[in-house]
C-alpha cells in the first residue's frame, strides 16, 4: 500500500482558530484524515517534537503553519519544520501577514511585558516578578524561550511556498488548498491560495454599492443600527472589503458585520492598509484641513483598523522609534 503523504500542523503566536478550521472541515475531515498522515499536530495529537526531528528532511509533504512568530522557540520550530517539509504553507492571517499579534509591533517589548506582568488592573505583582530566560534550582536549570522584540510573519523567518489567508481561513479555502496539494495541482510558488480580486466581487451587498461614495462622517459598527442589506461604506461604516481578497464567501458581511481585511491585499498591492487609506480618504467630502480632520476623527484607531492583520508585513513593519533592549541577564 503506498504511503500516504505526511502533513504537519503547528501553531506559533496563535489563538487556535486556525486549528478550529481544520476541525470545521467537518465531514470532510475524514476525507483529509484518510488521505494523509498527520504526523505532528500538538493541539490534537500526541506526537512530540523529537518524533518530527527524527524524520528525514523533506519527508513531510507539507506543514500547515499558523500563528505569527515571536519567540525563539517558534523560530526554532518553524526552521525545523521547514527543513522537514517539501512545502511550507503559511496557514491563516498570522502566518501570512503577522495577524492580530502583529499589532504588538506598535509597542516595545518592555512596554508589553511591563503591562502584562505588572500593570493590568487585575494583576498583583508587588515584587515585579518577570519571566526569566533561565532559572536554576537545585541542580536543574530550566529555560524559557526568548520573547523577541519584533512580531514576524512566517515568511520573515523561513522560506514559504504558499499562503492560505484568513482569520481563520474558511473551511472552503482550506479544503481547496488541501485538495490542490494532494492532487499535485499547485500554482507557482508564493501564491496566496485565494482569488486575486477584492471582496466586493462576491459580496451580496455589491448591488447596493453607491456610484457616488462620499464620506461626510465615519461610524463604527456599534454606533448605529446596521442595515442588513446596504453596503457598509454607504452607511459610513468602514469596510475593508474593497482592499481585501475575496474567497471567504463574504461571511462577515453576510453576518451583518463589515469586512476587517483578514484575507490580506491583492498581489497588486504592497501595503493593504496604505491602499485602503488612500481609497477612503479620496472619497471624503470636505476639502479643508479642519473639516477633513473632523471626519477622520470618526476613525479613532487608524493602525488598528487599516493594519489589523497586516502590520508585520506592512512596508514599515514596526514602530520606528522603539528600542531593542537586551533582556536582564539570566540568573
Site for other proteins in 290-309 (CB under 8 A): 292-293, 296, 299, 302-303, 306
Site for other proteins in 110-129 (CB under 8 A): none
Sign of CA dihedral 89, 106, 43, 54: positive
Identify which of residues 55 and 133 has a Cβ nearer to other proteins in the complex. 133
322 binds other proteins (CB under 8 A): yes
Packing angle of the helix pair 171-183, 17-24 (nearest 10 deg): 70
26 binds other proteins (CB under 8 A): no
Cα–Cα distances (Å) from 37 to 46, 52, 171, in that order, read: 13, 13, 19
Identify which of residues 193 and 198 has a Cβ nearer to other proteins in the complex. 198
Q: Shortest Cβ distance from residue 46 to other proteins (Å)?
A: 25
Site for other proteins in 30-69 (CB under 8 A): none
Among 59, 176, 219, 279, binds other proteins (CB under 8 A): 279
Residue by residue, DSSP assigns 259-293 as ---TT---TT-S-HHHHHHHHHHHTBS--SHHHHH
86's CB contacts (< 8 A; 6+ apart) are 58, 60, 61, 62
Q: Where are the beta strands (DSSP E) in the chain?
A: 6-11, 37-40, 60-66, 69-71, 85-91, 134-137, 140-143, 147-152, 162-164
Among 51, 57, 110, 196, binds other proteins (CB under 8 A): 196
Among 83, 149, 171, 258, binds other proteins (CB under 8 A): 149
Identify which of residues 7 and 280 has a Cβ nearer to other proteins in the complex. 280
213 binds other proteins (CB under 8 A): yes
273 binds other proteins (CB under 8 A): yes
309's CB contacts (< 8 A; 6+ apart) are 93, 94, 96, 97, 98, 99, 100, 102, 167, 260, 261, 262, 264
Q: Shortest Cβ distance from residue 309 to other proteins (Å)?
A: 15
C-alpha span between 20 and 61 (Å, rounded)? 21
277 binds other proteins (CB under 8 A): yes
317 binds other proteins (CB under 8 A): yes
198 binds other proteins (CB under 8 A): yes
Site for other proteins in 231-270 (CB under 8 A): 233, 241-243, 246, 265-266, 268-270
Amino acid at each position: 500500500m503506498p504511503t500516504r503523504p505526511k502533513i504537519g500542523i503547528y501553531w506559533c503566536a496563535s489563538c487556535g482558530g486556525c486549528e478550529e478550521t481544520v476541525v470545521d472541515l467537518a465531514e470532510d475531515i475524514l476525507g483529509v484524515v484518510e488521505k494523509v498522515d498527520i504526523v505532528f499536530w500538538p493541539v490534537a495529537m500526541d506526537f512530540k517534537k523529537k518524533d518530527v526531528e527524527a524524520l528525514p528532511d523533506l519527508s513531510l509533504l507539507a506543514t500547515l503553519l499558523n500563528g505569527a512568530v515571536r519567540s525563539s522557540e517558534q523560530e526554532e520550530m518553524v526552521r525545523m519544520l521547514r527543513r522537514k517539509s517539501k512545502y511550507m504553507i503559511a496557514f491563516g492571517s498570522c502566518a501570512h501577514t503577522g495577524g492580530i499579534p502583529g499589532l504588538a509591533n506598535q509597542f516595545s517589548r518592555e512596554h508589553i511585558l511591563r503591562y502584562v506582568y505588572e500593570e493590568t488592573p487585575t494583576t498583583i505583582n508587588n515584587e515585579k516578578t518577570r519571566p526569566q530566560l533561565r532559572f536554576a534550582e537545585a541542580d536543574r536549570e530550566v529555560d524559557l524561550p526568548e520573547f523577541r522584540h519584533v512580531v514576524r510573519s512566517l515568511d520573515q523567518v523561513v522560506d514559504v511556498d504558499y499562503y492560505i489567508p484568513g482569520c481563520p481561513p474558511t473551511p472552503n479555502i482550506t479544503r481547496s488548498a488541501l485538495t490542490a496539494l494532494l492532487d499535485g495541482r499547485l500554482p507557482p510558488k508564493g501564491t496566496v491560495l485565494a482569488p486575486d480580486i477584492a471582496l466586493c466581487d462576491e459580496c451580496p451587498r455589491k448591488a447596493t454599492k453607491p456610484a457616488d461614495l462620499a464620506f461626510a462622517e465615519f461610524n463604527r459598527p456599534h454606533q448605529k443600527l446596521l442595515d442588513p442589506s446596504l453596503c457598509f461604506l454607504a452607511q459610513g461604516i468602514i469596510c475593508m472589503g474593497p482592499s481585501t481578497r475575496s474567497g471567504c464567501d463574504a461571511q462577515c458581511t453576510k453576518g451583518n458585520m463589515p469586512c476587517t481585511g483578514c484575507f490580506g491585499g491583492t498581489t497588486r498591492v504592497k501595503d493593504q492598509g496604505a491602499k485602503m487609506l488612500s481609497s477612503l480618504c479620496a472619497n471624503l467630502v470636505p476639502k479643508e484641513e479642519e473639516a477633513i480632520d473632523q471626519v477622520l476623527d470618526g476613525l479613532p484607531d487608524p493602525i488598528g483598523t487599516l493594519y489589523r492583520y497586516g502590520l508585520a508585513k506592512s512596508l514599515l513593519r514596526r514602530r520606528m522609534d522603539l528600542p531593542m533592549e537586551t533582556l536582564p541577564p539570566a540568573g
